């Protein structure tokens, strides 16, 4: 399957880049910025995208990149911080010009190039940066600028390396999808053949191959994320899956009953229903700070799940389903936290307890 990998440098928009690529019918995945180059090469991606990020490339704690990324012979697109990091790594100049850009900005093309093939010479784009590229690396050509960014677009078509200062993934850049399509189809030579249906079929086949005849458990909360993951795994392994539904009493009215009815009576998935409303409400009594509440809910959810998981014999695999939005808001790794979620940022510090040491699906 043709895959484009998005390297995450801590931007809130990183997940959105991966989504936009998939909307172009090309499969994409978001991976940590420090994923080993050997691991990236082994996956044989059709292209790489370096996301934006909140830092400056000159900061002491700036996230860096292995220069060998640019020697893989794979097309690379740097967006915002990703462009600046590409510039800094390859010998160009990034500087604080004193002219920050935030919001809608006019971009002027000096030549068409690959990224802006068949697009207007003047167009509106969305900027969000303080530093600017003032001199591209050797072999690159500046193909676009704004009033405050002398190098807003740069290209090295021979090495298939590209940089863009604006954010093509957001709706405020009207031609953003066209820019991404030019990278995907003209630079990476991808085919627009990926669909949601195909990923379901491929996921079921991959799960079946990974799990075989082993037993599987799933922490079911009733949300879209864990429910979707549970049903995908159930389609692959059948009754070898057991879902543990921790009923904490904090769902919408009658929602717990709907979850039980759907999984037990409609889908007929083996289900353990843990009624823990009183325990959760007792622990939350008198707590008013939202983040503290989320931490309490997250830890208690895992502790109850662990206790129930120990009752099940011979289970080897754990199903974990998490929405991108939960990951974004929880601010894992290098992104800022908006709010913790019980299945991501709300997990207890020692989340890799016995039940969590199982292999993950």
CATH of span 3-187: 3.40.50.880
- Measure the CA–CA gap between 301 and 277, rounded to whole angstroms: 11
pLDDT at 75: 98
**% of the chain with per-residue pLDDT over 70:** 89
Residue with tokens 């953003």: 176
Q: What is the mean pLDDT of residues 45-56?
A: 93
| Selected catalytic residue, list 101, 169, 299, 329 | 169
Which residue, among 47, 238, 262, has the nearest Cα to 161 in the 3D structure? 47
Q: Tell me whether residue 129 is one of the annotated catalytic residues.
A: no
pLDDT at 158: 96
**Inter-residue contact 304 to 342 (CB < 8 Å):** no
Q: Tell me whether residue 289 is one of the annotated catalytic residues.
A: no
Q: Tell me whether residue 175 is one of the annotated catalytic residues.
A: no
Domain 196-360, CATH number (from 3.40.50.720, 3.40.50.2000, 3.40.50.620, 3.40.50.2300): 3.40.50.620
What angle (nearest 5°) sits at the alpha carbon of residue 230, between those of residues 229 and 232?
65
pLDDT digits (tens, 9 = 90+) for 176-213: 999 999 999 999 999 999 987 778 888 899 999 999 99
pLDDT top residue among 357 and 309:
309
**Inter-residue contact 264 to 245 (CB < 8 Å):** no
DSSP, res 137 = P
| Selected catalytic residue, list 167, 175, 248, 342 | 167
| Whether pLDDT at 321 is above 80 | no
Lowest mean pLDDT: which of 3-12, 72-81, 178-187?
A: 3-12
Q: What's this model's pTM, rounded to 2 decimal places?
A: 0.72
| Whether pLDDT at 27 is above 70 | yes
DSSP letter string, 294-334: HHHHHHHHHHHHHHHHHHS-SEEEEE----HHHHHHHT-TT
DSSP, res 222 = S
Return the number of other C-beta atoms located less than 10 Å from residue 82's C-beta: 29
Please give the C-alpha separations between residue 107 and each of 13, 81, 157, 275, 318, in angstroms, as whole numbers: 20, 18, 20, 57, 48
Q: Hey, is 104 helix, strand or coil?
A: strand
Domains 3-187 and 196-360 equal at CATH topology level = yes
Predicted confidence band at 60 (pLDDT cuts at 50, 70, 90)? confident
Strands 153-156 and 215-220: unpaired
Domain positions in the chain are 3-187, 196-360
Read off the tokens for 13: 């928009």
pLDDT top residue among 204 and 327:
204
| Selected catalytic residue, list 80, 125, 166, 243 | 80
- Measure the CA–CA gap between 155 and 143, rounded to whole angstroms: 7
Predicted confidence band at 353 (pLDDT cuts at 50, 70, 90)? very low
pLDDT digits (tens, 9 = 90+) for 125-155: 999 888 889 999 999 999 999 988 999 999 9
Predicted confidence band at 344 (pLDDT cuts at 50, 70, 90)? low
pLDDT at 66: 95
């Amino acid at each position: 399957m043709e895959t484009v990998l998005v390297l995450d440098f801590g931007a809130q928009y990183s997940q959105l880049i991966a989504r936009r690529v998939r909307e172009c019918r090309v499969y994409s995945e978001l991976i940590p910025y420090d994923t080993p180059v050997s691991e990236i090469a082994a996956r044989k991606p059709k292209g790489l995208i370096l996301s934006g990020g909140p830092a400056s490339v000159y900061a002491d704690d700036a996230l860096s990149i292995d220069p060998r990324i640019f020697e893989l012979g794979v097309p690379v697109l740097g967006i915002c911080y990703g462009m600046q990091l590409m510039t800094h790594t390859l010998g160009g100049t990034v500087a604080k010009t004193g002219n920050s850009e935030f919001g809608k900005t006019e971009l002027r093309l000096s030549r068409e190039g690959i990224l802006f093939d068949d697009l207007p010479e003047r167009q509106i784009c969305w900027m969000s940066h303080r530093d600017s590229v003032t001199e591209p690396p050797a072999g690159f050509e500046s193909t676009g600028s704004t009033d405050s960014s002398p190098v807003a677009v740069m290209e090295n078509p021979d090495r298939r390396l590209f940089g863009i200062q604006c954010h093509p993934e957001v709706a405020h850049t009207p031609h953003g999808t066209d820019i991404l399509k030019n990278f995907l189809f003209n630079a990476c030579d991808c085919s627009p053949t990926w669909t949601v249906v195909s990923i379901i079929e491929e996921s079921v086949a991959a799960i079946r191959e990974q799990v075989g005849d082993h037993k599987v458990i799933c922490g079911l909360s009733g949300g879209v994320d864990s429910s979707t993951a549970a049903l995908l795994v159930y389609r692959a392994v059948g009754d070898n899956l057991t879902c543990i539904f921790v009923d904490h009493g904090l769902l919408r009215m009658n929602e717990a009953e709907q979850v039980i009815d759907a999984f037990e009576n409609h889908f007929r998935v083996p289900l353990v229903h843990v009624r823990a409303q009183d325990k959760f409400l007792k622990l939350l009594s008198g707590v008013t700070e939202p983040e503290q509440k989320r931490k309490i809910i997250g830890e208690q959810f895992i502790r109850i799940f662990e206790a129930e998981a120990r009752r099940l014999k011979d289970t080897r695999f754990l199903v974990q389903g998490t929405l991108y939005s939960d990951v974004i808001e929880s601010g894992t790794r290098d992104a800022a936290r908006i709010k913790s979620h019980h299945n991501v940022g709300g997990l207890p510090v020692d989340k890799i307890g016995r039940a969590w040491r199982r292999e993950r699906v």
